[in-house]
Structure 1
Amino acid sequence: MRKIVYIIIFVIFLDSYFVAHAEDLKDAIEFSKNDRVLIFAPHPDDEAIGVCGAIQKALKQNAKVRVVCYTNGDNNAPAFIVYEKRITFKKGEFLHMGQVRRKETMRAMVSLGVKPEDIIFLGYPDFGTMEIFTKYWGAVVPYKSLFARVSKVSYPEALSMNAPYVGDSILKDIKKIILDFKPTKIFVSHPADVNRDHRALYLFLQVALWDLEGNIESPEIFPYIVHIVRWPIPRGYHPELELKAPDSLANVGIEWLKLELTEEEIKIKRNTISFHKSQIKYNPRYLFTFARKNELFGDFPAIKLKTQISERPLWQDLKAYQNLEIDPEHKKDRENSITPDIAYAAVDNKLLIRLQLRKKIEKDIGVSVFLIGYSKKADFSDMPKLYIKVDTLGVHIKDKKQLIYSKAVEFEVQDHTLILKVPFSLLGNPDRILTFARTHPNDLPLDESSWRTLYLLKEK
């Protein structure tokens, strides 16, 4: 009799556990009629690939939805050649491709029920916005796009026609959109995405939200992944499969949220992706890979550094994220890789960065770190944006595009360990720091970390 009681209790426990677990997955992201959902897409088609299911669910609850395309995707030359069946290098032709992609997104989003007036295009340079974020601020000659060869927003339908290709323009547009719409939820590309525009959009949004702190209610942020090498697998339309977190991002502190889609929502997502014919012709199977049983959202946790006065730093370790330009299954590539494990500390008014390398720094092999400070007391445009490169010749520092000479940056190398010491004063005495590390070998695979955010906690 006692065994029967135990069995009944165990069955009840299992039943309640799985029901609760199912509800957690189902309720990971909920929408209501009071929501104002803002979708940021780096290129026309990313909104369909990454967030179409979320858009459907939001609209079903009568939430307000607004979609913003950051670029017009006019730099995809291979897709242009396949779609147009001709080769051209005229700048007007690439702007034409940007118009083709804009119209595809308009038709796709309207088919879902998004109002035309709630679809906004910014028109910034495809494949150029990370360069802008790290180098082009203030009174500088604007960035010139690679193929379209223009230095300002050149699409009449864009939010800020003729805006110069500088960071100030992009930040101003994003802040204006947020202030006008007052979103409760924002979906944006992921800082670990391999595509540089996807990363840059996340960074611009982060800075915009910091600037607007105190002026708006803080929205929920849901980053989504599109480009990770060899993910998702298998390619093609597989509505029966789940979209799982990439292996390279499985143990780096991200709490993934899974938004389950119904069979009908999956079909609608596939149909929505089908509007992007200019991209499908170039790679017919890839886009449909994302029409699966769920969508994934998640972000890295912030790194909080407490300023110390100590000879023994309290390191905040990060598990290395590798962008997987090299296949993790290939041992030879892993041996050649010098991808660092990274740790940070704040000691005696300096930021310390420890990189645990798999190989020693040698000729033609080095490490680079971006350090971009943010302070509530200064205009972000004026803040230093440092690029620090360490190789066998020493330390090389740039602030945006300007080479600077400073003995204030110290470094130590012991076997496979590199420690950089950067004064906070050189970073503009920031409250927060956006940081990114990468290796730059000549003939070895490129390895890099993701962009991460450091919060500096001041002693009271």
Structure 2
Amino acid sequence: MTRKVKYAVILLLVVFLLFTLIEISGYYYGKKRVVKKIYPIPSMYQRVLIIAPHPDDETLAAGGLIQDVVKFGGEVKVVVMTNGDSFKRAVVENYGIFDPTPQDFLRLGYERQKETLSALKYLGVKKENIIFLGYPDKGLAALWWQNFEKPLLSYGTKKTCSPYVNSYSKCAKHIGKNVLKDLKSIIEGYNPTLVVYPHPNELHPDHWATNSFVKYTLYTLKKDQIPQFLYIVHRNDWPLPLLKQPHLNLNPPPSLLKTGTEWHLYPLSKEEVEKKGKAIAMYKTQMKVMKDFLLAFDRKTELYGFYSNGKLKKYNKNLNFEEYKIILDPVKDNLRDYENGSLDIIAVYGYMKDDVMTIAIKCREKAREEYEYSVNIIFFEDYKEVKRQSIKFKNKKIFPLKAKGFIKNGILYISFPVDKEFDAIYLSASTFSGKKLVDKTAWKLLKKIQ
């Protein structure tokens, strides 16, 4: 190796280390950030409902909060949406089986249930307050939309209904309607004073879909005013550093600091941090696969966000276009084709003009006709769903045909007649390259302004 090459290598290493230190420094407690702190509120802790997409999410997100609720004499109920049974890598790492059968995945699901029971018992949650719904791991996003009424075949167990003997609804078909039915029954019966569940900007499909199912249920039950803490588990390069650092804050992902969420740090005592770390270690099947990631949540704070509903305004020629903004989306968070700014959504706009709704999608770079842009909408009237609709635009063509789509100044506009009376909508926008999802906004509830 020549002297010049050596110097070049050394320079690259120095640049890399400096960049890493700058990135990590933002996660230290002493770093100034615009993040408020929220402290235990005993009045909220009477009946706390924590909803987790998979076993361990409830402990990662709220292991300290659970301890506070118990300490203040409140009650905690935990609902686990899936048993995390379609995780092939976990089967391979734990059982040494490289070509798992449905029975192997089922075995993993039961094992993960046992870990949840042990960890939550250690944190003070009663066994009778732990509910397993048994819906398909890696399938909640499909149940939310494509398989809302049509049964989904589980990737792991190869079943279209829950094969678990202890599921909340025995042999429940894998359809979205059943998920809503179960959540409605649980929430009505428990009447929670605080609901803790995933944030809509979660990257994992099971997590953002859990948010959608819970938000939908709270709204249709007219319980949307109940205090809600939203947590994050899966984002790109978060939380940093990926190892146990109990002296650090669990600060919000930088990309989500200016996208409409009010973030709060929830302080934990030294004893709570230590106990949470021991509870996380009880998820042995996952510790073998992602130990450093799991332990990165054992910090001296937990992180919760508040994500407010929005408004769908009437069109007014005197309003600035920016006043119609309804969703802010993180920059450069697209899952695939990372550098393609034409597929990286940064904002969504919407308004009504008579009985025509217009939705505009703005990306980091100008929208291009060869890509697919879509909007999924649920319409509500008097807290009841009255219609679901998908609109897709690609190659100057739009579906359904009654809709109109065009690109102006790099922004995609989609307009379509609304044939149902409604007073609120639930909406998300997505982009695709071929058949592959590239970017997706959070789902957001919007009240129609009369």
Into which bin does the TM-score normalised by the smaller protein fall? 0.7 to 0.9
- Kept in 1, the 8 Å contact 2:342–2:367? The answer is no
Paired residue secondary structure (2:145):
helix
Residue 410 of structure 2 corresponds to residue 416 of structure 1? yes
Q: Provide the residue aligned with 1:99 in structure 2.
A: 110
Q: Provide the residue aligned with 1:298 in structure 2.
A: 305
CA drift of 1:442 comes to 4.3
Tell me how far apart the structure 1 counterparts of residues 140 and 307 of structure 2 sit (CA, whole Å): 22
Tell me how far apart the structure 2 counterparts of residues 307 and 121 of structure 1 sit (CA, whole Å): 43
Report Cα offsets for 1:43-88 as digits up to 9, x if no partner: 0000011111110110000101111101111111112211111123
Question: TM-score, normalization: structure 2?
Answer: 0.85
Structure 1 range deviating more: 439-448 or 176-185? 439-448
Paired residue secondary structure (1:135):
coil
Q: 1:374 to 1:95 in 2, by over 3 A?
A: farther
Residue 398 of structure 2 corresponds to residue 395 of structure 1? yes
- Alignment equivalent of 2:68, drawn from 53, 57, 60: 57
Residue 363 of structure 2 corresponds to residue 357 of structure 1? yes
- Kept in 1, the 8 Å contact 2:66–2:124? The answer is no
- Kept in 2, the 8 Å contact 1:343–1:354? The answer is yes
Q: Provide the residue aligned with 2:255 in structure 1.
A: 248
CA drift of 1:40 comes to 0.4
- Kept in 1, the 8 Å contact 2:49–2:196? The answer is yes
Residue 120 of structure 2 corresponds to residue 109 of structure 1? yes
- Alignment equivalent of 1:440, drawn from 413, 432, 439: 432
- Kept in 1, the 8 Å contact 2:362–2:412? The answer is yes
Structure 1 range deviating more: 313-322 or 47-56? 313-322
Which amino acid in 2 is paired with 1:206? K
Tell me how far apart the structure 1 counterparts of residues 344 and 45 of structure 2 sit (CA, whole Å): 49
State the aligned residue count.
414
Q: Which runs of 5+ in 1 are unaligned?
A: 1-23, 397-405
Which amino acid in 1 is paired with 2:275? I
Which amino acid in 2 is paired with 1:395? I
- Alignment equivalent of 1:137, drawn from 125, 128, 148: 148
CA drift of 1:358 comes to 3.7
Q: Identity across aligned pairs (percent)? A: 29
Report Cα offsets for 1:216-261 as digits up to 9, x if no partner: 6942111100001101111100001111111111011211121101
Tell me how far apart the structure 1 counterparts of residues 367 and 43 of structure 2 sit (CA, whole Å): 54
- Kept in 2, the 8 Å contact 1:153–1:165? The answer is yes
CA drift of 1:309 comes to 6.8
Paired residue secondary structure (2:184):
helix
Tell me how far apart the structure 1 counterparts of residues 157 and 276 of structure 2 sit (CA, whole Å): 31
Q: 1:429 to 1:136 in 2, by over 3 A?
A: farther
- Kept in 2, the 8 Å contact 1:135–1:385? The answer is no
Structure 1 range deviating more: 218-227 or 45-54? 218-227
Report Cα offsets for 1:417-457 as digits up to 9, x if no partner: 111112222xx433222211122124999222222221112
- Alignment equivalent of 1:450, drawn from 433, 439, 442: 442
Superposed CA RMSD: 2.6
Tell me how far apart the structure 2 counterparts of residues 33 and 228 of structure 1 sit (CA, whole Å): 28
Q: 1:308 to 1:203 in 2, by over 3 A?
A: same
Which amino acid in 2 is paired with 1:258? L
- Kept in 2, the 8 Å contact 1:32–1:63? The answer is no
Which amino acid in 2 is paired with 1:277? K
Q: Provide the residue aligned with 1:374 in structure 2.
A: 380
Q: Provide the residue aligned with 1:25 in structure 2.
A: 37
Q: Provide the residue aligned with 1:19 in structure 2.
A: none
CA drift of 1:389 comes to 1.9
Tell me how far apart the structure 1 counterparts of residues 38 and 382 of structure 2 sit (CA, whole Å): 38
Q: Which runs of 5+ in 2 are unaligned?
A: 1-35
Q: 1:305 to 1:364 in 2, by over 3 A?
A: closer
Report Cα offsets for 1:327-386 as digits up to 9, x if no partner: 9xx9x82657543422111221222111223444446522122112223374x3xx4322
CA drift of 1:194 comes to 0.4
Q: 1:61 to 1:197 in 2, by over 3 A?
A: same
Report Cα offsets for 1:260-291 as digits up to 9, x if no partner: 01111111111010011111111221100000
Within 5 Å, give how 1:186-225 maps onto structure 2: 186-213=195-222, 218-225=225-232
Q: 1:136 to 1:442 in 2, by over 3 A?
A: closer
